[in-house]
Amino acid sequence: MQILLCLSVALFAGLMLSRLAKLVKLPAVTAYLVAGILIGPYCLGLLGVKGLGFTTMEDVHALSLLSDVALGFIAFSIGNEFRLAQLKKTGKQATVIGILQAVSTTLLVDAVLIALHFVLGADRLPLPTAIVLGAIAAATAPAATLMVVRQYKAKGPLTDILLPIVALDDAVGLVLFAASFGVAKALQSGHVDIISILVEPVLEIVLSLLLGFVMGLLFNYFERFFHSRSKRLAMSVTFVLLTVALSMLSFTVPIGTAKVHVAFSSLLVCMMLGTVFCNVCDFSEELMDRVDRWTAPLFVLFFVISGAELELKVFREWTVVLIGVVYILARSAGKYIGARSSASLVKCEPNIVKYLGITLLPQAGVALGMAIKAKEGLGAEGLMIANITLFAVLIYELVGPMLTKISLLRAGEIKTHERTSARKQDNA
């Protein structure tokens, strides 16, 4: 009963707060995160009423399975943005920009935070924390960007190249995170060697993509046995759940005197599952629309739970706030400079060169997913990563969509005078 009460309170709080956020033109994801904080252990949970919010962090962690499933569907949705027919239209420009701006952002944030590590000391900012935060910085929030594009019906060269970039951006970010997370774990354990720093991360990336590829082919094969929409939706949910479960496998393989730890990234596996499925299945687009509707409550819970996991007490330390502010500034500079320089390199239009970087600032679901994985695998250092990421997400989700709108407006791709309400059209 307590779990069901917590779930219903979390959903209700997130949905109702999203109505208030709409009045002040804030994105829904911000409302969900704030709702999680309000019903979390440091606000409503202080009353100590079981079921009325989360009274302890243990109550929040008891719902971690929901977060794992939600992350699987988020990555699956990202994979569906990689349709070959669409990628051929954008060509080399989107690919080059997507990769270069993500890598340059990671390198800049890594450089700034590593420098801060030497200034503050290893106790205040551990080196593994700095390295992982650099990889998380590469991720952008596709949902926030798409929301602005669809709401204002933006059209033009900037919009055309922006949509595939935000998908590719997260894919590159997931790869960077897998490698950085492997390096961080190696540094944390004190065993810095080629196997732990290079071999294991590369194996994780390759095996994750391979597992996702195989699951995608199997998914497409079994999906064709059904013709009703409801059963195809059920099969889709089945394969995402199965893929998430298989990606949790881990084992050790002895190679000579060394032992190689083999694991999978559920984000990469599910992303490849979606990529393969959308390119080999002829009805994947229609099916994905139904999956997106089915997962809407799950995503609300994911963000509310993520907000509830925020350890507010860590912000009593000025160093955590300082690191968060530095991270935000460094990531913003990395996105803008990286997008501007790479767009100039591939000779994009002036408006793309000028405004693209600003539209890539929003950060939410995938970054939070990476932070949760870091929290699970790096202990206290992972906790710092999770809280800094949540702090940054709150800031970015407050200002990111607004900046995206301004950029598209100045690029001439939002025609405000052409927008009329459906009610006015009906009256006419």
Number of other residues whose CB lies within 10 A of the CB of residue 218: 16
In the structure, what pLDDT confidence band is assigned to residue 403 with cuts at 50, 70 and 90? confident
Q: At 246, is the pLDDT very low, low, confident or very high (cuts 50, 70, 90)?
A: very high
Measured between alpha carbons, how far is 396 from 390 in angstroms, rounded to an integer? 10
Alpha-carbon distance 428 to 414, whole Å?
24
Residue 105 makes CB contacts below 8 A (sequence gap 6+) with 137, 138, 331, 334, 335, 338
pLDDT band at 6 (very low <50, low <70, confident <90, very high): confident
Rounded-to-integer distance, Cα 415 and Cα 406, Å: 12
Counting other chains too, the contacts that 417-423 makes at CB distance below 8 Å and 24 or more residues apart are 419/152, 419/153
Give tens-digit pLDDT for 283-334.
Answer: 777 787 788 778 888 888 888 888 887 767 767 778 778 899 999 999 999 9
Torsion of CA 149, 151, 155, 161, to 10 degrees: 10
Which 3 state secondary structure label does DSSP give 172? helix
Assign 243 a pLDDT band (cuts: 50, 70, 90). very high
Q: What is the pLDDT of residues 99-120, one digit of tens each?
A: 999 999 999 999 999 999 999 8
* pLDDT value at residue 421: 47
Q: Rounded to the nearest 5°, which phi and psi values hold at 154?
A: -70, 140
Q: Is the pLDDT of residue 262 over 90?
A: no
> Residues 6 or more apart from 44 whose CB is under 8 A from it?
38, 52, 53
Cβ(148)–Cβ(404) under 8 Å?
yes
pLDDT for res 91: 64
Task: Report the 10 Å Cβ neighbour count for 304.
Answer: 33
Helices (H), 346-364: 350-359
Kindly report which listed range (5-9, 127-131, 198-202) carries the lowest average pLDDT score.
198-202
What pLDDT score was predicted for residue 198? Answer: 67
Q: What is the mean pLDDT of residues 410-419?
A: 70
The tokens 């539209």 sit on which residue? 359
**More confidently predicted of 358 and 391:** 358
Give me the pLDDT at residue 379, please.
83
**Whole-number Cα distances in Å, 15 to 21, 290, 298:** 10, 20, 12
Mean pLDDT of 116-128: 88
Give me the chain's average pLDDT, please.
Answer: 83
Tens-place pLDDT, residues 328-357: 999 999 999 999 999 999 888 898 999 999
Amino acid 255: pLDDT: 72
pLDDT range class, residue 197, cuts 50, 70, 90: low
Task: Look up residue 261 and give its DSSP letter.
Answer: E
What pLDDT sits at residue 103? 93
Structure-token pair, residue 396: 């970015």
CA distance 164 to 146: 11
Residue 420 confidence class, pLDDT cut points 50, 70, 90: very low
Burial (CB count within 10 angstroms: exposed 0-12, middle 13-18, buried 19+), residue 256: exposed
Between CA 275 and CA 91 the distance in angstroms is: 17
What integer is the mean pLDDT of 189-210?
73
Structure confidence at residue 106 (pLDDT): 94
The per-residue pLDDT for 193 is 59
CA distance 167 to 161: 11
In this prediction, residue 425 carries a pLDDT of 47
Q: Which pLDDT belongs to residue 135?
A: 92
The residue to which tokens 């990111």 are assigned: 400
Dist. CA 14–CA 105, nearest whole Å: 31
Task: Give the DSSP letter string of 266-327.
Answer: HHHHHHHHHHHHHHH-TTHHHHHHHHHHHHHHHHHHHHHHHHHT--GGGGGSHHHHHHHHHH
- Pair 343, 352: CB distance under 8 Å: yes
**pLDDT score, position 242:** 95
pTM of the model: 0.76
210 vs 52, more confident: 210
Alpha-carbon distance values, 3 to 34, 55, 58, 238 (Å): 20, 12, 12, 23
Q: What is the band of 191 on the pLDDT scale with cuts at 50, 70, 90?
A: low
**Average pLDDT rounded to a whole number, residues 246-266:** 80
Residue 125 predicted with pLDDT over 50 = yes
Average of pLDDT values for 359-381? Answer: 82
